[in-house]
């Protein structure tokens, strides 16, 4: 009986093996044409579904399969590290600028001769080394202080306001911003808000709006002073040390944020970016520092009270001389790179996919309407820009006669530098450390991480 | 002869699994600690420079000291509490089974979830004082101790209960007849006989506390300024948030392994000595 059973079992297993083998053969044939040729490791979780749609649209049009995997928020490097050592490695991945490129140097293909590179309006934006072009930016983003126009109008309509400023457009330096914000805090009951600024989120992994974005401004000025002719990104990248010269300017705005916040200072370390975006969306705060990517988040908050027509940006004024001419912080942290270690076929297919996405009618439509990217490519006409109000406001600021602040933070030495900056800032905010120590810690960790 | 013939059939699957899942990664890990690499396939030999770098700033030593303090405190508290609970729940009280189940339950919840739950609870309490758990490293320390106690006491309790139930009742009765009071029975009869359980429980709590990672990540993530980062978290941070420091993270991991191995072996030998046969 047992023997019969085992014979049957063996037969079944053999059959299964054989049938697998049969299926395999024709499949490997088609795999070369229709299998997952392009593997795109996506950085932006907020648009992961859109990329899936794009992938199926592309497959319909060209028959080339595109596999999209999205790394969860804040885990891109981890995911990439494990994915890229697999045999089916990502063919398209992204690096976050010159610093990120150093880590992935051996995996980045030279894209100098691609059409994608030729589309780039400002060739200086690409990540280059020597003659090679290794990272191509695909989205331009801008950040500053987002304000809720309705609440601002309410304030300017107050009869007993202490300032003589009568519209947001008149705020063009730190003194005016401070005067308005502090007066708004005094009148917060009348305005129906809990605080002028949404919570300065400081919980673990959520402090990037301050240790990267806000910090970019003082470092932009410092690096520009060092060398006025080249991009502050490359000056910062080659700087072995920093003085953190404008730490007081940084402190000006940070203090303004935390002293006029929705939450008490001591509780900020429990707040996440989501918390503060929903405070803004629900009208509990009048202002929040973030970039145009935040629109999706604001408009998705249930019961959001922000009027899309009445929302705009203020630059990050910190009390620099002549900051009346300062604009928003505009740049990118998102560069496409093609994996140099996969087969030439796959590389070609990947480049073609990206070129299709940013130059074909279908592709461009997805980019504008679904991904809502402002791209740095000349394939997009002037009317082909995303409709969301924050992106429009960024475009508006780009066209004004102001000096745009670069994303100098993308040349900060390492994530560890930003983390320790954020940690020190948190201690300052909750009152367990002095500002002088924050300054010292920034200077020290820059030196240490650059070494 | 026939044993030899069947050797591959019975041992090979386990052996292969052991090789793939343990020996190969282990050897590879030690090798990588002497190299500079981004992914494990393109490593360049750099000698012991990673080990030097690992000690070049205070992070690692701070994390080590924090871990040692944490482990010392939690091993004591967990075992005392678990033993006390086990003692109570073997006395045949009403609802014993219900209590055993309830105490065991926290152990079934994942570390990350536990971490976030306790973060909410602790921050909720500290809110009355206008601060959060990141205000002072001591808050993070005691938060972690409470968390690990809550999670491990139930598990250790079950092991102690098994040990206590194994003690022949005639020994306890004999002690009673000889006029020993409760404390004397516990000290001279019960304790020596549950030493095997003590060995297992100290081993488990020691290694679990020492290797704690997800609870640490979720509860404090090292805040403020990495002062509550334990060794595993420090290794993780070194590996993932510094460009080019992957090898150093690996070197720290090897040192970590050696420390854990030495401590747990010493502990095993020491507690084994105190076990008695009956």
| CA distance to partner chain A, nearest, from residue B42 (Å) | 9
Whether B132 and chain A come into contact, CB under 8 Å, resolves to yes
Q: Is residue A18 part of a domain?
A: no
Q: Which residues of A touch B (CB under 8 A)?
A: 77-78, 81, 84-85, 99-100, 102-104, 106-107, 202, 204-205, 264, 266-267, 269-270, 414-416, 419-420, 423-424, 426-427, 430, 432, 448-449
Please give the share of chain B, as a percent, with pLDDT higher than 90: 29
- CATH number at A418 reads 3.40.190.10
Q: Which of B244, B120, B107, B270 has its CA nearest to residue A104? A: B244
Domain boundary (A346, A380, A414) is at: A380
CA distance A393 to A390: 5
Q: What is the pLDDT of residue A328?
A: 93
Identify all chain A residues contacting B224, using CB atoms and an 8 Å cutoff.
423, 426-427, 430, 432
Residue A147 host element (H or E): strand A141-148
- Are residues A73 and A191 located together in one domain of the fold? no
Identify all chain A residues contacting B217, using CB atoms and an 8 Å cutoff.
204
Identify all chain A residues contacting B243, using CB atoms and an 8 Å cutoff.
99-100, 102-103, 414-415
Q: What is the ipTM of this complex?
A: 0.70
The answer to whether the peptide bond before residue B224 is cis (omega within 30 degrees of 0) is yes
For chain B positions 8-47, those within 8 Å of chain A (CB to CB) are 38-42
What separation, in Å, do the N-terminal and C-terminal C-alpha atoms of chain B show? 38
Sign of the dihedral defined by the CA atoms of residues B33, B36, B40, B44, in that order: negative
| pLDDT tens digits along B165-206 | 888 888 888 888 888 888 888 888 888 888 888 888 988 999
Q: How confident is the model at residue A2 (pLDDT cuts 50, 70, 90)?
A: low
CA distance A330 to A404: 6
- Are residues A267 and A192 located together in one domain of the fold? yes
Average the pLDDT over A399-413 and give the result.
90
**Inter-chain contacts counted by CB atoms under 8 A, chains A and B:** 83
Domain boundary (A380, A413, A437) is at: A380
CATH 1.25.40.10 fits B56-273, yes or no: no
Sign of the dihedral defined by the CA atoms of residues B120, B125, B130, B136, in that order: negative
| pLDDT tens digits along A194-230 | 999 999 998 877 888 999 999 999 999 999 999 888 8
Q: Is residue A353 part of a domain?
A: yes
Residue A449 has pLDDT above 50, yes or no: yes
- Are residues A280 and A338 located together in one domain of the fold? no
Q: Is residue A374 part of a domain?
A: yes
Total tally of structural domains belonging to chain A: 2
Q: Which one has a higher pLDDT value, B41 or A17?
A: B41
| pLDDT tens digits along B198-252 | 888 988 999 899 889 999 998 888 878 788 899 999 999 888 877 778 889 999 9
- Are residues A127 and A152 located together in one domain of the fold? no
Q: Is residue A2 part of a domain?
A: no
Average pLDDT of the residues of chain B: 87
Contact B132 A449 (CB under 8 A): no
Domain ranges of chain B: 2-45, 56-273
| CA distance to partner chain A, nearest, from residue B111 (Å) | 17
| Vertex A133: Cα angle to A132 and A134 (nearest 5) | 110
Identify all chain B residues contacting A261, using CB atoms and an 8 Å cutoff.
none
- Are residues A303 and A341 located together in one domain of the fold? no
Q: What is the pLDDT of residue A35?
A: 55
| pLDDT tens digits along B9-21 | 888 899 999 999 9
Nearest CA in chain A to B38: A103
Q: Which of A348, A368, A364, A374 has its CA nearest to residue A115? A: A348
Whether B133 and chain A come into contact, CB under 8 Å, resolves to yes
Q: What is the pLDDT of residue B160?
A: 92
| CA distance to partner chain A, nearest, from residue B3 (Å) | 21
| CA distance to partner chain B, nearest, from residue A254 (Å) | 18
| CA distance to partner chain A, nearest, from residue B218 (Å) | 9
In a 3-state reduction of DSSP, which class is residue A40? strand
Q: What is the pLDDT of residue A92?
A: 95
How would you write A289-317 as a 3-class SS string?
A: EEECCHHHHHHHCCCCCCCCCCEEEECCC
Average pLDDT of the residues of chain A: 87
Q: What is the pLDDT of residue B239?
A: 85
Host domain of residue A315: 142-331+392-450
Residue indicated by tokens 């106690």: B149
- Are residues A443 and A348 located together in one domain of the fold? no
Residue A338 has pLDDT above 90, yes or no: yes
| CA distance to partner chain B, nearest, from residue A309 (Å) | 37
What separation, in Å, do the N-terminal and C-terminal C-alpha atoms of chain A show? 73
Contact B221 A205 (CB under 8 A): yes
This prediction has a pTM of 0.78
> Residue B57 is nearest to which of A85, A205, A448, comparing CB atoms?
A448
CA distance B82 to A251: 50
| CA distance to partner chain A, nearest, from residue B41 (Å) | 7
- Are residues A219 and A131 located together in one domain of the fold? no
Residue A19 has pLDDT above 70, yes or no: no
Point out which residues pair with A374 in neighbouring strands: A140
Q: Is residue A30 part of a domain?
A: no
Interface test with A, best of B53, B243, B246, B250 (most A CBs within 10 A): B243
Please give the share of chain A, as a percent, with pLDDT higher than 70: 92
CA distance B92 to A89: 60
Contact A415 B41 (CB under 8 A): no
CA B89 to chain centre: 24
Q: What is the pLDDT of residue A147?
A: 95
Whether B222 and chain A come into contact, CB under 8 Å, resolves to yes
Most confident of A63-77, A119-133, A250-264, B116-130: A250-264
Whether B115 and chain A come into contact, CB under 8 Å, resolves to no
Average the pLDDT over A29-35 and give the result.
43
Pairing outcome for strands A132-137 and A127-129: antiparallel
Residue B3 has pLDDT above 60, yes or no: yes
């Amino acid at each position: 009986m047992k023997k019969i059973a085992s014979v049957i079992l063996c037969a079944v297993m053999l059959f299964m093996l054989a049938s697998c083998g049969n299926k395999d053969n024709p499949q490997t044939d088609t795999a070369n044409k229709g299998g997952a040729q392009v593997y795109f490791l996506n950085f932006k979780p907020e648009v992961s579904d859109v990329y899936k749609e794009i992938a199926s649209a592309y497959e319909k049009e060209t028959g080339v399969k595109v596999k999209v995997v999205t790394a969860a928020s804040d885990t891109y490097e981890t995911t990439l590290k494990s994915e890229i050592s697999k045999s089916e490695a990502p063919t398209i991945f992204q690096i976050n600028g010159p610093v990120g490129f150093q880590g992935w140097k051996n995996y980045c293909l030279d894209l100098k001769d691609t059409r994608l590179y030729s589309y780039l309006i400002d060739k200086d934006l690409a990540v280059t080394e020597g003659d090679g072009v290794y990272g191509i930016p695909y989205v331009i983003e801008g950040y500053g202080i987002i304000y809720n126009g309705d609440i601002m109008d309410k304030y300017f309509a107050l009869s007993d306001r202490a300032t003589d400023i009568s519209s947001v457009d008149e705020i063009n330096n730190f003194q005016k911003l401070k005067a308005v914000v502090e007066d708004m805090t005094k009148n917060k009951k009348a305005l129906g808000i809990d605080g002028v600024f949404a919570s300065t989120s400081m919980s673990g992994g959520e402090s990037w709006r301050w240790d990267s974005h806000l910090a970019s401004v003082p470092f932009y000025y410092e690096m520009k002073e060092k060398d006025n002719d080249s991009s502050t990104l490359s000056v910062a990248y080659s700087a072995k040390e920093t003085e953190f010269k404008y730490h007081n300017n940084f402190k000006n705005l940070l203090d303004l944020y935390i002293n006029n916040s929705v939450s008490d200072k001591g509780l900020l370390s429990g707040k996440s970016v989501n918390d503060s975006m929903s405070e803004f969306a629900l009208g509990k705060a009048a202002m929040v520092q973030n970039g145009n990517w935040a629109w999706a988040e604001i408009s998705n908050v249930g019961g959001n009270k922000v009027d899309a027509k009445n929302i705009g940006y203020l630059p990050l004024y910190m009390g620099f001389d002549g900051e009346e001419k300062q604009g928003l912080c505009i740049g990118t942290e998102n560069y496409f790179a093609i994996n140099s270690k996969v087969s030439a076929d796959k590389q070609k297919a990947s480049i073609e996919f990206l070129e299709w996405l940013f130059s074909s009618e279908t592709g461009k439509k997805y980019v504008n309407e679904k991904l809502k990217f402002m791209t740095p490519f000349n394939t997009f006409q002037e009317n082909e820009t995303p409709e969301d109000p924050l992106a429009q406001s960024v475009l508006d600021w780009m066209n004004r006669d102001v000096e745009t602040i670069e994303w100098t933070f993308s040349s900060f030495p390492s994530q560890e530098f930003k983390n320790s900056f954020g940690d020190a800032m948190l201690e300052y905010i909750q009152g367990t450390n002095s500002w002088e120590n924050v300054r010292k810690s920034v200077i020290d960790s820059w030196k240490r991480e650059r070494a | 002869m026939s044993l030899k013939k069947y050797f591959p059939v019975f041992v090979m699957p386990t052996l292969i699994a052991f090789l793939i899942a343990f020996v190969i990664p282990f050897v590879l890990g030690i090798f990588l600690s002497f190299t500079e690499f981004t992914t494990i396939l393109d490593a360049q030999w750099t000698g012991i420079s990673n080990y030097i770098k690992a000690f070049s700033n205070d992070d690692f030593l701070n994390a080590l000291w924090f871990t040692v303090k944490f482990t010392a405190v939690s091993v004591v508290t967990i075992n005392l509490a678990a033993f006390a609970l086990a003692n109570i729940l073997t006395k045949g009280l009403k609802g014993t089974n219900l209590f055993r189940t309830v105490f065991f339950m926290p152990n079934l919840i994942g570390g990350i979830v536990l971490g976030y739950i306790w973060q909410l609870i602790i921050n909720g309490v500290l809110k009355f004082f206008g601060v959060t758990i990141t205000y002072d490293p001591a808050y993070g320390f005691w938060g972690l101790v409470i968390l690990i106690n809550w999670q491990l006491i139930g598990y250790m309790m079950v092991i102690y209960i098994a040990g206590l139930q194994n003690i022949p009742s005639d020994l306890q009765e004999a002690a009673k007849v000889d006029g020993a009071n409760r404390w004397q029975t516990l000290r001279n009869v019960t304790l020596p006989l549950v030493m095997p359980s003590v060995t297992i429980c100290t081993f488990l709590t020691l290694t679990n506390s020492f290797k704690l990672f997800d609870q640490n990540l979720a509860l404090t993530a090292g805040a403020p300024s990495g002062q509550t980062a334990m060794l595993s978290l420090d290794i993780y941070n070194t590996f993932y948030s510094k460009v080019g420091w992957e090898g150093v993270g690996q070197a720290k991991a090897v040192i970590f392994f050696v420390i854990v191995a030495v401590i747990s072996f010493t502990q095993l030998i020491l507690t084994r000595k105190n076990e008695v046969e009956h």
